[in-house]
Amino acid sequence: MRVRVVVPATSANLGPGFDALGLALALHNAIELEESDGIAVSVEGEGAAELPRDGRNVVVRGARLVYEAVGRTFPGITVRQRNGIPPSRGLGSSASAWLAGMLGANALLGGPLDRDRLMDLAVAQEGHPDNVAAALYGGLTATCWDDEMRAVVGLPVPTALEFALLVPAFQASTVAARAALPTTYPRGDAVYNVGRVALFLAAWTRGEWELAGRAMGDRLHQPHRARALFPWLDAVIRAAHGAGALGAALSGAGPSVLALAPRGRAASAAAAMEQALARNGHPGRGIVLAGDHQGARVERLPG
């Protein structure tokens, strides 16, 4: 039996929703999995030159965890990765790999684990739920996943919106991006973010896109990461606004930047962000994406 798992890229935080908001994007990894004696991995596309092709591969590790979770011996697996998601760019590449391995193995075993259990396994590896939830469920997701509450609420992404994505040519470490954050925050900064994440979600549900864009401000992670790692961030966000974007924010831990734009204006925002990054001495590419409405999906392959 062979299965194919298609998992979307994700953009987490969307400004104020640190570790809570995520958005699935129409940029995907497609991974085929098949039980085998031993481990064999092939990788095409993004990350082909750097991703491991042995038991250290995250897809393989995710598959192994599912076998262990259901008390089955892991015989080995053949993995064929066709990656469209650039790794280490703040686009949920690690979450997509964990989910691909877990969803694929679960399908190969006949589906013993439900979606909540798979979410549990993936969040335990990622350390935060935002990318995992968006990749698994699709659309815009708001997530609480801790000892007191485990819930994901999904909201549709309207066709009236497009997303301009700036993908720098260089990678960034999530560990370094987390290390740049303070351990405590002033109450004013916490209130600033609480108000904006609430306003963002309320505006999104009512279709008030300009207001949603204005609510994409943040004081919990972006200023600290900009000072330590991405000094060009403010210039890129200003360029997106100047080109017609409704709002823009660092994508996850960075270095990618996501801008929200009305349909037909995202291309201008993407080009403006690319040019602003170049003026600050860094190459990158601006692309236009729609939202992914389905989330991760699994299909059985013949043969």
pTM for the predicted model, two decimal places: 0.96
Instruction: Tell whether 139 and 30 lie within a shared domain.
Output: yes
pLDDT, tens digit, 9 for 90 and up, residues 110-135:
999 999 999 999 999 999 999 999 99
Average pLDDT over residues 157-174: 95
pLDDT, tens digit, 9 for 90 and up, residues 211-266:
999 999 999 999 999 999 999 999 999 999 999 999 999 999 999 999 999 999 99
Instruction: Tell whether 265 and 215 lie within a shared domain.
Output: yes
Structure tokens at 129: 């739920």
Instruction: Tell whether 10 and 99 lie within a shared domain.
Output: yes
Q: What is the CATH number of the domain that holds 260?
A: 3.30.70.890
Average pLDDT over residues 178-207: 97
pLDDT, tens digit, 9 for 90 and up, residues 31-78:
999 999 999 999 999 999 999 999 999 999 999 999 999 999 999 999
**pLDDT class of 303 with cuts at 50, 70, 90:** low
C-alpha 56, offset from chain centre: 21
Instruction: Tell whether 88 and 204 lie within a shared domain.
Output: no
Instruction: Tell whether 150 and 227 lie within a shared domain.
Output: no
Instruction: Tell whether 173 and 258 lie within a shared domain.
Output: yes
**pLDDT class of 302 with cuts at 50, 70, 90:** confident
**How many domains in the chain?**
2
Instruction: Tell whether 6 and 150 lie within a shared domain.
Output: yes
Instruction: Tell whether 42 and 121 lie within a shared domain.
Output: yes
Instruction: Tell whether 8 and 151 lie within a shared domain.
Output: yes
Backbone angles phi, psi at 82, to 5 degrees: -120, 100
Domain region containing 130:
2-155+292-301
pLDDT value of residue 92: 97
Q: What is the CATH number of the domain that holds 75?
A: 3.30.230.10
Instruction: Tell whether 10 and 51 lie within a shared domain.
Output: yes
Question: How many residues make up the chain in this entry?
Answer: 303
pLDDT, tens digit, 9 for 90 and up, residues 267-296:
999 999 999 999 999 999 999 999 999 999
Instruction: Tell whether 148 and 8 lie within a shared domain.
Output: yes
| Distances in whole angstroms, Cα of residue 25 to Cα of each of 30, 161, 227, 288 | 14, 12, 27, 10
pLDDT value of residue 145: 94
Average pLDDT, the chain: 97
Instruction: Tell whether 139 and 214 lie within a shared domain.
Output: no
